[in-house]
Amino acid sequence: MESKEQREAVFMTTVQKWGGSLGVRIPKHLADRFGVDHGSKVEVSANNEGIFIKPVKKTPTLEELMSQITEDNQHNEIDFGKPEGSEVW
C-alpha cells in the first residue's frame, strides 16, 4: 500500500506531441519543489508499472564549491614534521 507521501504529487496531465516526440507538462509548484527548470536534465525510466521522471542532481562546479568556503569552515594547517625517508614536501 502506498503512503500519503508517495501519493502526494499525483496529478493528471495530457501527453502532447512536440515535434517527433511526446511530452508532458510539469506543474510549476512541482518543478519549483524539485528544482526542475527549462533545460534541466531528468532521468526517464520505465518498468511494468509505468513511466517515471526523476530530476538528475546537478554536480556542483569547482567555482560553486569554492564560493562556499568561509573563515568558519576552513581547516587549520597541520604540521606533519620534516620529511622522512624518501618523502618530499
For the chain, the domain total comes to: 1
CA distances from 71 to 60, 61, 74, 79 (A): 21, 20, 6, 20
- The domain that holds 62 is classified in CATH as 2.10.260.10
Residue 33 has pLDDT above 80, yes or no: yes
- Residue 38 domain flag: yes
User: Which tens digit of pLDDT belongs to each residue from 62-71?
Assistant: 999 999 999 9
Residue 6 has pLDDT above 70, yes or no: no
- Residue 39 domain flag: yes
- Which of 2, 18, 19 has its CA nearest to residue 10? 2
- Which of 12, 46, 7, 47 has its CA nearest to residue 26? 12
Residue 18 CA to residue 20 CA, distance in Å, equals 6
Residue 36 has, within 13 A of its CA and on its CB side, a CA count of: 16
**Domain span including residue 61:** 7-66
- Residue 77 domain flag: no
Label residue 50 left, alpha or beta by phi (over 0 means left) and psi (-120 to 50 means alpha): left
- Residue 11 domain flag: yes
- Residue 81 domain flag: no
- Residue 80 domain flag: no
The amino acid at residue 85 is G
Predicted local confidence at residue 1, as pLDDT: 52
- Residue 78 domain flag: no
